[in-house]
Amino acid sequence: MKYIVICAVMASIIICGCVTVKNDVSDSTTELTTTNTFIMTGNKLEIADVSSKLSASVMPDTSKNLTLEDVVDIALNNNKSTRIAWEYLKISEAQKTQADSYYYPTLDVNAAVKTQYAKANIDAADSDLMQFGPGASLTWLIFDFGGRSGGVNYADRLLEGQLASYNQSIQDVLLDSSTGYFQLNSTIEVLASIEIDITNAVATLNAAQKRMNAKLGTELDVLNARSKLEQVMFQKATAESNLKSAHANLAYILGLPANIKFEVTPVDKPTDDITNLVVNVDDLIEDALEQRSDLQNLKAQKMASEANLSVVSSDLYPSFSLGGDAGYSWYDVDAGLYNGLEDELTYSASVSLNWQVFDGFLNTSKRREAIHMVENAQTVLEQGKLSVSTDVWNSYYQFEAAIKQLNASSAYLANSSRAFELASKSYKNGLISILDLLDAQSDISLARRQEIESRNNLLISLANLAHSTGRLSKDNDLISTINVKENK
């Protein structure tokens, strides 16, 4: 009967030692990337959405021009910041599993072989002994005044914080890729507008040359026109350099080398849905305080510091543990005093209390430190809320200003275009000087730049506004990401 009981105890110990903790983070072997999960849902990732591996880097399809959606897809898969955040998320997942393990007993299994030989003065007393057999010991913490549960809570909050940080990295990549795409298109349009300026400058130079040949103009007119052409050629060289830089910058955001070749689809001009968008800044701020992933990370950090306080506080109190040992020994005796020694089974069980009653005030100092960490986390959270509200406020009024700038620049371009047409006809008819024509040419050139810049600023400011609320989405339907409400 005794052997049956011991076998049952040993079996239960082994079973307990083999139990694994179920992770909250899925380790499915399905080839599903976190970024693809985000793309399919269009929402922030939850713990259950996190998969076990990332996909390989994505290269652009050089057979077609990249749309904004293509750029975002590539950036989400390749950008190094999302991969770094992903690795931190997996580290936190492993740390959470470590914390969960403290709820289970620890089992140590051992085996030993011992030989002993003794030479006595009397030959009959000589001994030659071999002892061998397995053993196992079990330790199980059953109560520690909240330290163990606090540790698990601490790991949970850190995991939530890293998940929020990963979601924020996705938001940042969405903004960076969208901004880089808009900027590249803007530099392409600027270069195209300079090509138009070159055409106009050449036409003006030809007109000045003809007037001088017809004795209706002067050499000074020709020199002024040629100077204008050289000035525009200088601007073209600068625009070409800016285009190369914008291309390299977008390639960097996409996680690709600077010399990669790709073309982008032109950006559609802002629609009335954007320029007539009416939003309430107070509603946007309130929404951002709930949605911003970086703010959720700060909240998780605060709760983690509170859980850490529980862990540190538990060190001031005793802990209670269960323990047990079991072993079996076989003996091989050749001679001597140990003749007749039989194999034996040993086992024991215990309940222990461990309480460090004095440690030079180490634990009390740690507790004071943990209290200040909670207070600091609360202050950082409050500062984060102020930062979020300021970010939304500034983004909102930058967007509002961008709408007004686009309306003004569009009107400016229309008026300067008409003025340049009239100036060209008037110069050919000898009604104005070459300086008047060159002024009109400079005016329309500036108007084109401002119109291109204002359109680019409007799209970027709208993306920034969506990003500031924490609702920038992969499909880049920026209007739908903002809480649109009529002002009352």
Q: Are 149 and 205 in contact (CB under 8 A)?
A: no
pLDDT exceeds cutoff 80 at 208 = yes
The percentage of the chain sitting over the pLDDT mark of 70, rounded to a whole number, equals 82
Distance CA 331, CA 283 (A): 81
pLDDT band at 476 (very low <50, low <70, confident <90, very high): very low
Q: Are 326 and 346 in contact (CB under 8 A)?
A: yes
pLDDT (0 to 100) of residue 47: 55
Q: Are 217 and 211 in contact (CB under 8 A)?
A: yes
Q: Are 129 and 333 in contact (CB under 8 A)?
A: yes
The predicted-structure confidence for 415-448, as pLDDT tens digits, reads as follows: 999 999 999 999 888 889 999 999 999 999 999 9
Distance CA 225, CA 129 (A): 113
The predicted-structure confidence for 133-146, as pLDDT tens digits, reads as follows: 999 999 999 999 99
pLDDT exceeds cutoff 90 at 413 = yes
pLDDT exceeds cutoff 70 at 30 = no
Dihedral angle of Cα 248, 479, 271, 410, to the nearest 10 degrees: -70
The predicted-structure confidence for 327-379, as pLDDT tens digits, reads as follows: 998 887 765 556 667 788 999 999 999 998 888 899 999 999 999 999 999 99
pLDDT exceeds cutoff 50 at 27 = no
| Global pTM value | 0.77
pLDDT band at 407 (very low <50, low <70, confident <90, very high): very high
End-to-end alpha-carbon separation of the chain, Å?
85
pLDDT (0 to 100) of residue 411: 96
- Average pLDDT, stretch 393-412? 95
pLDDT (0 to 100) of residue 28: 29
CA of 204: how far to CAs of 239, 303, 418, 483, in Å? 22, 70, 16, 51
DSSP designation for 25: S
Instruction: Please name which of 472, 482, 477 lies closest in space to residue 172, comparing C-alpha atoms.
Output: 472
* Topology (CATH level 3) of domain 64-104+146-318+362-481: Outer membrane efflux proteins (OEP) (1.20.1600)
Q: Are 51 and 30 in contact (CB under 8 A)?
A: yes
Distance CA 484, CA 487 (A): 9
- Average pLDDT, stretch 223-243? 95
Q: Where is average pLDDT lowest: 86-90, 319-323, 345-349, 377-381?
A: 86-90
Q: Where is average pLDDT lowest: 54-58, 138-142, 170-174?
A: 54-58
Burial of 56 (0-12, 13-18, 19+ CB in 10 A): exposed
- Residue 308 Cα to chain centre, angstroms: 25
Hey, CA dihedral for 248, 254, 257, 262, is it positive or negative?
negative
pLDDT exceeds cutoff 50 at 6 = no
Q: Where is average pLDDT lowest: 15-24, 63-72, 219-228, 295-304?
A: 15-24
pLDDT exceeds cutoff 90 at 125 = no
Dihedral angle of Cα 166, 169, 170, 171, to the nearest 10 degrees: 120
Distance CA 164, CA 89 (A): 9
pLDDT band at 123 (very low <50, low <70, confident <90, very high): low
pLDDT band at 29 (very low <50, low <70, confident <90, very high): very low
Sheet of strand 127-143, all strands in order from the earlier edge strand to the far edge: 106-118, 127-143, 319-335, 344-354
pLDDT (0 to 100) of residue 333: 72
pLDDT exceeds cutoff 50 at 18 = no
Instruction: Please name which of 483, 472, 481 lies closest in space to residue 282, comparing C-alpha atoms.
Output: 483
Q: Are 266 and 185 in contact (CB under 8 A)?
A: yes
The predicted-structure confidence for 274-320, as pLDDT tens digits, reads as follows: 888 888 899 999 999 998 999 999 999 999 999 999 999 999 999 99
Q: Where is average pLDDT lowest: 72-76, 127-131, 157-161, 300-304?
A: 127-131
Q: Are 482 and 279 in contact (CB under 8 A)?
A: yes
Pairing of strands 127-143, 319-335: antiparallel
Q: Are 126 and 118 in contact (CB under 8 A)?
A: yes
pLDDT exceeds cutoff 80 at 475 = no
Name the CA radius of gyration of the chain, rounded. Answer: 38
Mean pLDDT of the chain, nearest integer: 83
pLDDT band at 124 (very low <50, low <70, confident <90, very high): low
Hey, CA dihedral for 96, 100, 106, 107, is it positive or negative?
negative
| Phi, psi torsion values for 354, nearest 5 degrees | -125, 120
Angle between helices 293-314 and 147-213 (to 10 degrees): 160
The percentage of the chain sitting over the pLDDT mark of 90, rounded to a whole number, equals 60
Q: Are 393 and 172 in contact (CB under 8 A)?
A: no
- Average pLDDT, stretch 191-213? 93
Q: How many CB atoms within 10 Å of residue 225?
A: 25
pLDDT band at 251 (very low <50, low <70, confident <90, very high): very high
- Average pLDDT, stretch 117-137? 74
Distance CA 427, CA 286 (A): 59
Instruction: Please name which of 364, 365, 382, 388 lies closest in space to residue 302, comparing C-alpha atoms.
Output: 382
Ranges of beta strands (E only) in 69-224 are 106-118, 127-143
Question: CB within 8 A of 408, min separation 6: which ones?
Answer: 454
String of b and e for 160-178 (b: at least 16 CB within 10 Å)?
A: bbbbbbbbbbbbbbbbbbb
User: Collapsing DSSP states into helix, strand and coil, what is residue 351?
Assistant: strand
The predicted-structure confidence for 31-46, as pLDDT tens digits, reads as follows: 223 333 333 233 465 5
- Map out the domains of the chain as residue ranges: 64-104+146-318+362-481
- Average pLDDT, stretch 400-429? 94
